[in-house]
Structure 1
Amino acid sequence: MPLAGRRHYSGRNLSRAVTIADLQGMAHRNLPAFVREYLEGGAENEQTLRRNRDAFSNIEFRPSTLTGVGAPDLSTTLFGTPMRLPLVIAPTGFNALLRFEGDRLLAQAAAKAGVVFTQSTVSNERFEALAAVPDLTHWMQLYVFRSQAFMDELVARAQAAGCQALMVTTDAATFGNREWDRRNYRSGMNPTIRNKLDILFHPRWALSVMARGIPAFGNLLDFLPPDQQSFARTAIWSREQIEPHLHWSHIQHLRRIWKGLLIVKGILSAPDAQRAADAGADGIVVSNHGGRQLDGAPSPMAVLPDIADRLKGQLVILADSGILRGTDIVKTLAMGADAVMTGRATLYGLAAGGEAGVARALAILEEETRRTMALLGCRSVADLNRDHLRTVRP
């Protein structure tokens, strides 16, 4: 049982945040209820959301001692490019709800930390604007829309902006049933009266976000008439325009028109991973969309070994969903991933303290990963494998 009186830090001093859970508490203090729910919620009964975390608890380490490990090397190579850390910031949308210019703050922190930033199609910034962030390794995430002309235009813009990779999300052709999120709105994007009143108890958020006006989704504006470019209208339009008949032929088409790295996100089986390779993908993301789409889907950790056994070396394998600790990162890498992606961890930092909060989140994950590898007796990311793990029954 937890010791009486224990609680995570939730003040405003970022230097006192020693875990991602501390940043989560700080974020919750800053955000009104309906924004917290958007950040935290999952689909339906949230079984998959819980399973993503439980999966890590069901895996034990098998440490080696007296290995003379010293300071472990966290560097790796991703798509032939040296990386300081085996970490990618995952694509997340509506980030301006958490902090004014949230996407830019995430990108700037990523560039300074030397990690990849993946920008969502439904970012509140245009691809071209974030491409100008100095030293940024910039990937683009794509939702496939009904209009192929519009989709092709988005891809061409990202190509011209210098995005190195195109990450196609495949598990959101039907929008997930996020029931608790939906309860916060009377209709469309209009919060309930209770949630509007709750904003009064979060004046810092209101002055940062609401007072300046939540920007619309910059990458979609060119396709909408001027009188329909509000945040709420664009959000509704984007959901309506997602291609419901998404198929492998769409991946093949994107492979023909996209000249950079192509990554398929939303893979949860080895057969689909093989299909991605056959369609010309350079990499995949083993992902259940953070538990926000199909409730009852498996954790990536449950399917990652099979995928790695069949595809390791043919594709770069990334994995996300539920990663909040350095121990989670090490377990995911040892299970066969080449690198991990995290969304909520850096969003907690963003909501807690802007760019400095994102930097703190990345520093915590790096520190925890390095310590875990040292205690495991492992010198480098390349040395991690399943011999370092043991799966236990829940």
Structure 2
Amino acid sequence: MMGQFPATVADYRERAKRRLPGFLFDYIDGGAGEEQTLRANTSAWQQVLLRQRVLVNVDQIETDARVAGQTLAMPLVLAPIGLGGMSARRGEVQAVRAANARGVPFTLSTVGICGIEEVAAAGAMLNWFQLYMLRDRSVVDAILRRVAASGVQTLVFTVDLPLAGSRHRDVRNGVATPGLGPKLLRVSQVLRRPRWIVDVALRGKPLSFANLAGHGPAAGDFEAFRSWIDAQFDPTVTWDDIARLRERWPGKLILKGILDVEDAEQAAKLGADGLIVSNHGGRQLDGVRATALALPDIARTCGSKLDVLVDGGVRSGIDVFRALALGAKAVMIGRPWVFALAAGGESALHTLLGRWQKELQVAMALTGVRRLADIGPACLDTSVQAQIGQPKEPLNKFRGDAGHGWPAQDQARK
């Protein structure tokens, strides 16, 4: 009997879990600490209620968005995922092809498997690159030159990684832990996935950190290279470094990892073109605010000065609508695209993106809007208490004039 077809991110996640080695699935799926923030990111969106309207002419709905100087088919960008290319054969190449076919950008991680040249050749139309500020600035300079030479115009700079987060799942799987025992554990997990061995480990070679080739230890030695990368994260980075980066990078600059309004204002002062409201998918500091909670105040304060994006816990086209109603220009998705790719490759990701666009269109139609510019606070239902999590105030309770205020976050925290 044939199995059911996947319809949601949760469905793709289950398939990915059955196909990936355990340590790799946990690396993608897991978060920091007890994973409180990881769970909160998803549940917070579910507390944002939509205001349904009927008998409104919603013919010819438009989902086109203008982000970082580019026109997108919908307000969505594939986020950078370290090791994302190990989810499928030459995974980042498949991902950029699926993304570009749906008219949205793909963001390649510094610690992706495929190199910037390979990914750019597969999808140069809409291709972004993510960068860390490493201790060895010569490595940063070399990467920037390669990125510029590949035609990339949008640089996503991650600012919330002075140190690697504490991820318990990685510890349990012996990731980056020396010794024979941890290595045998990971080998046993790989051997349970013969399909992955053939499709990815053998047919998908080389499995190396191609963007960092020539720097540090051999890029194919994952244990040694991960230790080198962890040591390269620079806790001394300050806003002065961002100012210097802004001077050197001629394209669009988007800062990823902003949760605080004061940090958002500083990003705008230094000339960033955009920012991503992000807690690193709950993978860095456990116990911080869900991004749906942090977004409204940042969008209200800085949305007119730069493009405000958001990531973390977005799991459907309806969540995309919610993010726009709370002030975002677009969303970034990470785990959803990796799960889809692991579950069924490029075609599965292409299908998922198309389904999300349809879900966004349905949400627009049933809230009475035809253009993204019309999505705002007035599209949210403030009359009832959100049930999930039982907050003292619903996330979409607004202060100020109706239709022009933003969520009363201070009240929600009391």
Report the TM-score, using the length of structure 2 for normalisation. 0.88
Deviations 1:13-47 (A, max 9, x none): 7xx22222221122112122222211110100111
1:112–1:131 CA distance, 2 compared to 1 (3 A): same
Distance in 1 between the 2:198 and 2:56 partners?
Answer: 53
| Aligned residue pairs, count | 382
Match of 2:142 in 1: 153
Distance in 2 between the 1:211 and 1:153 partners?
Answer: 30
Match of 1:374 in 2: 365
1:24–1:228 CA distance, 2 compared to 1 (3 A): closer
1:286–1:118 CA distance, 2 compared to 1 (3 A): same
Match of 1:5 in 2: none
Q: Give the secondary structure class of the aligned counterpart of 2:122.
A: coil
Matched letter for residue 76 of structure 2: L
1:389–1:233 CA distance, 2 compared to 1 (3 A): same
Distance in 1 between the 2:238 and 2:381 partners?
Answer: 37
Match of 1:336 in 2: 327
Distance in 2 between the 1:204 and 1:307 partners?
Answer: 45
Query: 1:96: how far off?
Result: 2.9
Query: 1:214: how far off?
Result: 5.9
Distance in 2 between the 1:44 and 1:120 partners?
Answer: 23
Contact 2:96 2:123 in 1 (8 A): no
1:204-215 pair list within 5 angstroms: 204-212=195-203, 215=207
Contact 1:97 1:214 in 2 (8 A): no
Distance in 2 between the 1:60 and 1:186 partners?
Answer: 40
Query: 1:192: how far off?
Result: 5.1
Distance in 1 between the 2:364 and 2:22 partners?
Answer: 37
Query: 1:71: how far off?
Result: 4.2
Contact 1:52 1:291 in 2 (8 A): yes
Deviations 1:158-178 (A, max 9, x none): 111111111110111110110
Distance in 2 between the 1:322 and 1:87 partners?
Answer: 14
Distance in 2 between the 1:294 and 1:308 partners?
Answer: 22
1:383 aligns with 2:366: no
Contact 1:349 1:357 in 2 (8 A): yes
- Structure 2: unaligned runs, 5 residues or longer: 391-414
Q: Give the secondary structure class of the aligned counterpart of 1:318.
A: strand
Matched letter for residue 173 of structure 2: N
Match of 1:305 in 2: 296
Match of 2:166 in 1: 177
Contact 1:99 1:208 in 2 (8 A): yes
1:230-269 pair list within 5 angstroms: 230-269=221-260
1:124 aligns with 2:113: yes
Query: How much is the aligned-residue C-alpha RMSD, in angstroms?
Result: 2.0
Distance in 2 between the 1:50 and 1:160 partners?
Answer: 39
1:43 aligns with 2:32: yes
User: Which piece of structure 1 moves more, 185-194 or 43-52?
Assistant: 185-194
1:97–1:327 CA distance, 2 compared to 1 (3 A): same
Distance in 2 between the 1:320 and 1:383 partners?
Answer: 21
Query: 1:60: how far off?
Result: 0.8
Contact 2:117 2:150 in 1 (8 A): yes
1:329-368 pair list within 5 angstroms: 329-368=320-359
> Which of the numbers 204, 212, 215 marks the counterpart of 1:223?
215
Matched letter for residue 297 of structure 1: V
Query: 1:80: how far off?
Result: 3.4
Report the TM-score, using the length of structure 1 for normalisation. 0.92
Contact 1:71 1:374 in 2 (8 A): no
Matched letter for residue 23 of structure 2: F
1:255–1:215 CA distance, 2 compared to 1 (3 A): same
> Which of the numbers 129, 133, 140 marks the counterpart of 2:129?
140
User: Which piece of structure 1 moves more, 287-296 or 352-361?
Assistant: 352-361
Contact 1:117 1:136 in 2 (8 A): no
Percent same amino acid at aligned positions? 38
1:312–1:345 CA distance, 2 compared to 1 (3 A): same
